[in-house]
Amino acid sequence: MSGTLFPYGHLIGQIVANLIRYENEIEIKQRAQRQEYTIDDNKSKEIWLYSNYAYDVAKDFGLKVSQSKYFALSRHLNGAKNSIEIRAHIRDLRTTFIEELNSVSLLPASSDLVENFNRIQPFGERVAKIFPTCSEDIDEAHKCFGFGGYTACAFHIGRAMESAVKRLAKRMQAKATRDEWQSYINAMNDVVNQMP
């Protein structure tokens, strides 16, 4: 999930809601039977699925204690599957996960950010093939634009344009005095001015 914009809010809500549901289901069944019981394989797989989602989010956000609580629950889901122990580990994972998430600061993604952050080949496939050395700066420019870093965006677009200017100067057989794009532009102007 890392490296892309991902709608964590919905996933976190589902994780917490389902962990609470499993806790409650186990408690209700224990009360009805008036004793602990062994959790069946299907329910165990369901619990593991949502606890694994919690692990993925915890890993993405660097929530170390939540990750360790996931491993403790997983060991019990793979072992005897005692209802009392599993319920306690589900509660432990859920409460730790929520507490640790409180330490994470999140910024809402604007429509510009969503539109520009995950875009592949922002200037199209043709530009990416012709100017492969510019691809990283073009990608970074779009991300900076999405974050509202317009100066940084202009910087990256300038770096991308530098490669294009050098390539055009070479094609025009313009001889630049220095390896900077203003020098290349001056040399191209000289070539254009000498044209009939």
Residues 138 and 158 in one domain: yes
Residue 149 sits in the same domain as residue 74: no
pLDDT tens column, 8-65 = 888 999 999 999 999 999 999 999 988 889 999 999 999 999 999 999 999 999 999 9
Is residue 129, in this structure, part of any structural domain at all?
A: yes
Q: What pLDDT score does 87 carry?
A: 95
As for how many domains the chain has, the answer is 2
Residues 31 and 92 occupy one common structural domain: yes
Q: What is the pLDDT of residues 47-63, one digit of tens each?
A: 999 999 999 999 999 99
**Residue that is last in its domain, among 101, 134, 160:** 101
In a domain, 2, yes or no: no
What is the extent of the structural domain holding 34? 8-101
CA-CA distances (angstroms) from residue 40 to 44, 59, 69, 81, 194? 6, 28, 21, 8, 85
Same-domain status, 26 and 77: yes
Tokens in use for 180?
A: 């900077």
**With helix as H, strand as E and coil as C, how does the chain read?**
CCCCCCCHHHHHHHHHHHHHHHHHHHHHHHHHHCCCCECCHHHHHHHHHHHHHHHHHHHHHCCHHHHHHHHHHHHHHHCCCEHHHHHHHHHHHHHHHHHHHCCCCCCCCCHHHHHHHCCCCCCCHHHHHHCHHHHHHHHHHHHHHHHCCHHHHHHHHHHHHHHHHHHHHHHCCCCCCCCCHHHHHHHHHHHHHCCC
Is residue 106 assigned to a domain? no
Question: 131 near 160, Cβ under 8 Å?
Answer: yes
In a domain, 154, yes or no: yes
Residues 84-113, mean pLDDT to the nearest whole number:
90
pLDDT digits over 103-132, tens only?
Answer: 998 777 777 777 777 788 888 899 889 888
pTM: 0.65
> Same domain, yes or no, for 92 and 129?
no
Distances (CA, A) of 7 to 2, 50, 119, 187: 12, 16, 16, 50
Could you give the CA distance from residue 5 to residue 165 in angstroms, rounded to a whole number? 33
Do 152 and 95 fall into the same domain? no
Which of these three, 78, 101, 124, is where a domain ends? Answer: 101
- The answer as to whether 1 is a domain residue is no
Whether 64 is covered by a domain: the verdict is yes
User: Are 120 and 165 contained in the same domain?
Assistant: yes
Q: Are residues 87 and 141 in the same domain?
A: no
